[in-house]
Amino acid sequence: MYIINIHSTHTHILFWMRLIAINHLTALDACCLQTISVCCCTNVCVCPCRRNVISTASVGVRSLASIPSLPPSVAEFVSGAAAECKPAKVHVVTGTPEETADILANLEKDGMVKKLAKYENCWLARTDPKDVARVESKTVIVTKDQRDTIPIPTGGAKSQLGSWMSEETFQKAREDRFPGCMAGRTMYVIPFSMGPVNSSLAKFGVQVTDSPYVVASMGIMTRMGTPVLEKLAEGAEFVRCQHSLGRPLPLKAPLVNSWPCNPDKVLISHLPDTRQILSFGSGYGGNSLLGKKCFALRIASRIAKDEGWLAEHMLILGITNPQGVKRYIAAAFPSACGKTNLAMMKPSLPGWTVECVGDDIAWMKFDSQGKLRAINPENGFFGVAPGTSLKTNPHAMATISRNTVFTNVGETSDGGVWWEGLEPPAPGIKLTDWHGKSWKYGDSTLCAHPNSRFCAPAGQCPIIDPLWESDEGVPIDAIVFGGRRPEGVPLVYESFNWRHGVFVGAAMRSESTAAAEHKGTNFHFSI
């Protein structure tokens, strides 16, 4: 096991890769499946078997009547969410290209995104400046007992390993936020899979949201739509994800950048005992794309504990030496510490190649032969834009040249994007910053937000690994732990053994980055 410290560059990365590549890790009574109908004259949803009658007065869920087939467990979840949030209508997402095109066109019509003329099917979103990152201070785990979630520090100190909320406090917070929160808006129902749909390591979710931006992004980041509904119809379990921007219509106050959010009431809550996620008030990806950190790390870590596997904040890459021997490596860094650049590395040593399986999250499990295997549960890259360039990550630049949603980056007058780390724009090209204001190269303010993002399909990466969608996962031969530490620790060092490596990895801290709301230079554990 290797421990690596990354500050601002990937200096000496190939040194430890050459060492790692020679190592080898070995292991130690439901309703019938028919359409839910809606009686338009009485606004009452009736299960075909008539065992359950759910009132939908003032909810307006008539589009449910057009659903070809909705599994009973999904129907129950959606009906409950609609009754609580009271949307104007409900749309079940199929994931077709035509549907995605319509959603993006409507987003553009509403001013939430802008099509970028310079690229193929690329879009730019600018958020409310108060909604730009994960909000860890308002991210909670809800369990009966605090000790089930986090260690309880002595002396009343706040734990640095997460935030706990009691069931009673959460219920009051929910009642203060969700009732009627989608009034006037469409509730989108997103059936999605984390991991290849047919993989034994895959897990399913259903997210309801009133954000079409979330729908467009989830279509990139997950396997989404009808194929997942078919799995759910077979009885597959799923995580229930409920998200709202918290801005019902008609609006009581104007939006900033046409971006609906409710920053004063943001709450991202996780209920691991019941496999639920409820997120309110934020449209930013880390808080609203509930398949990412919320599901793939927080809830998945509890599922993994119960089932005997691992959900980790790790990239996965394959490295092949000049002799043709290939090893797969998992590496754990906090957000904004270089995972994407490392996962898509272009080696400078002759004869070495690197291929990308994933850049952010790894689900790992020992197979029947005792070999640790891993999948990337995601379907896309949600990468930090600033610092990404042809110099630092040419493969990422190729990946994001089409079918990409950019958020809070700068815009060029010729219909392109720009951020700090790219070459200065060509003469005559004007820049607009992430606030939508005119910006000149060399200004004291930043053109792109430090946590501005690109959301792009992983399959577009020119060095995507041939086995990145393997149902059984790739075999892991080494694990690396790292972070952003400019001083005080060596750049690269090796643990004495696996037991020592686990201790060092668990005890590591990293400087805070723009991926969360921390300010100043402080050190924290990645969660």
Q: How many CB atoms lie within 10 A of CB 492?
A: 18
**Residue 388 — φ and ψ, nearest 5°?**
-85, 125
Quote the tokens at residue 115.
């099509």
DSSP label at residue 92: E
Instruction: For residues 161 and 60, give the distance between their C-alpha atoms in angstroms, rounded to a whole number.
Output: 42
Whether 321 and 471 have beta carbons less than 8 Å apart is answered as no
Cα(219)–Cα(225) distance, rounded to whole angstroms?
A: 8
User: Are the beta carbons of 365 and 373 closer than 8 angstroms?
Assistant: yes
Alpha carbon distances (Å) from 174 to 142, 167, 249, 263: 12, 10, 19, 15
Residue with tokens 């709301």: 517
> Tokens representing 345?
């590395």
Q: Give the Å distances, CA to CA, from 226 to 191, 223, 252.
A: 8, 10, 36
> How close are the terminal C-alpha atoms of the chain, in Å?
20
Omega within 30 of 0 (cis) for the link into 334: no
Distances (CA, A) of 40 to 50, 55, 65, 79: 17, 12, 9, 16
Measured CA to CA, the distance from residue 517 to residue 307 in angstroms comes to 33
Catalytic residues: 337
